[in-house]
Amino acid sequence: MCDMTRRNLLLAAATGAGWSAADAQELPSGEVNKAALISSGVYFHQGDIEHQGHCNNGWIVFRDYVLVVDANFPSGSQTILPKIRGITPRPIRFAFDTHHHGDHSYGNEFWVENGATPLAHTGVIEEMKRYETGYYGGKPGRWEDAAKSRPDVAASHLSPPTVLFPHELYFDDGEHRVELLHLGIAHTHGDAMAWLPKERVLFTGDACVNGPYNFVGDGDVEKWIGTLDAAKKLGARVVCPGHGPKGDASVLDDQQLFFKQLRERVGALVNSKKSPRAVYQAIPQIRGDFASQPRIARFVDNSGIAAQVEKVYQEMTGKGFPADVKASKAARLLHRHAHAFESA
């Protein structure tokens, strides 16, 4: 029972298989590298993005097996395997990649070596074919680039998911039900979420983060807002994001508000026919305004906002920023540690 706190154990004993919103409020949140019991057999683990670039994980203990949400980087998968083993001897049969990014999928090989099958929405393979060109016989892609700075990646191989679902896939043993759902394009073109309708827990992958972690380069901000609408309709009580601490449904609301405001601000500049350079020059103002809004301040980061503004501007006009102020490439490089993005 390695990382479960005494309080969690007491709560688990007290609540049994049942769950109420009040229980969740009792649980500690925001603790990095600790397995948090969300509900009977349902765990959330907040990864160390700061130092190791790890994503968050979840795992669900079914009667006969364990389903892990996100493969993480190889070192992230190695971090959580002993924690799962400390909780249950049941075999880990499935590792669900919420999307194709390295911090969510490069640990697949490790899970395969430990008896699990990586699975994902079909869009994950399409994205891998687009960006993991080295694996598919072309020029070095993102994996090779991540391997330059990450020994854990260099010591392993890309292992794409081998069980694929085009829309949704259900796991249900009567005790637990987990629905893997592709709700639309968001952070990438292959995002899927894990929804637990009984407990009303939603593992979102990076379609929802809780902190300054929104990388928009591979997704579509306009469609992302709609996908978050679909996620909100599920009625989650606990939202386990791809990065940052877990929270309640307001995390989805706030993430969506951030993108809505971004589109509003950039849209106003586009409507008043501002030049790409003028839009770029408006970034400090936008950043300052967002940082003063309690609901969205936590999503603002100094380096990321430029790429976010540029992406929205591109979606609206088809034009990027002038070459001398190009934000997207700089943001990709800055986010490389966390997300294993390519340098090209």
Give the count of alpha carbons within 13 A of 188, CB side only. 29
241/245 with CB nearer Zn ion: 241
Number of residues in contact with Zn ion under rule CB under 5 A = 2
Of the listed pieces 36-44, 64-72, 201-209, 290-298, which binds Zn ion according to CB under 5 A?
A: 201-209
CA-CA distance, 230 to 219, in Å (whole number)?
16
Q: Which residues have a Cβ under 8 Å from the Cβ of 152 and sit 6 or more positions away?
A: 73, 74, 75, 78, 106
CA distance 146 to 173: 38
Choice between 45 and 101, CB closer to Zn ion: 101
Compose the 42-61 pattern: x for residues touching Zn ion by CB under 5 A, - for all others: --------------------
Closer to Zn ion by CB, 39 or 159: give it.
Answer: 159
* 11 or 55: CB nearest Zn ion: 55
Q: Shortest gap between Cβ of 139 and Zn ion (angstroms)?
A: 22
E strands in the chain? 35-39, 42-45, 57-61, 66-69, 92-96, 117-121, 163-165, 168-172, 177-181, 193-196, 201-205, 238-241
CB 303 within 8 A of CB 216: no
Indicate whether 121 belongs to the interface with Zn ion (CB under 5 A): no
Shortest distance, position 236 Cβ to Zn ion, whole Å: 20
- Cβ-closest residue to Zn ion? 101
Contact between 206 and Zn ion per CB under 5 A = yes
For the bound state, the minimum distance from the C-beta of residue 216 to Zn ion, rounded and expressed in Å, comes to 10
DSSP sequence for 165-206: ESSEEEEE-SS-EEEEE----SSSSS--EEEETTTTEEEEET
Q: Which is nearer to Zn ion, 142 or 176 (CB)?
A: 142
Angle at 73 between CA 245 and CA 57, to 5 degrees: 35
Nearest to Zn ion of 83, 335 (CB atom): 335
Site for Zn ion in 83-112 (CB under 5 A): 101
* In the complex, minimum distance from the CB of residue 187 to Zn ion, in angstroms, rounded to a whole number: 6
Shortest distance in whole angstroms from residue 5 CB to Zn ion: 29
| Binding region for Zn ion (CB under 5 A) | 101, 206
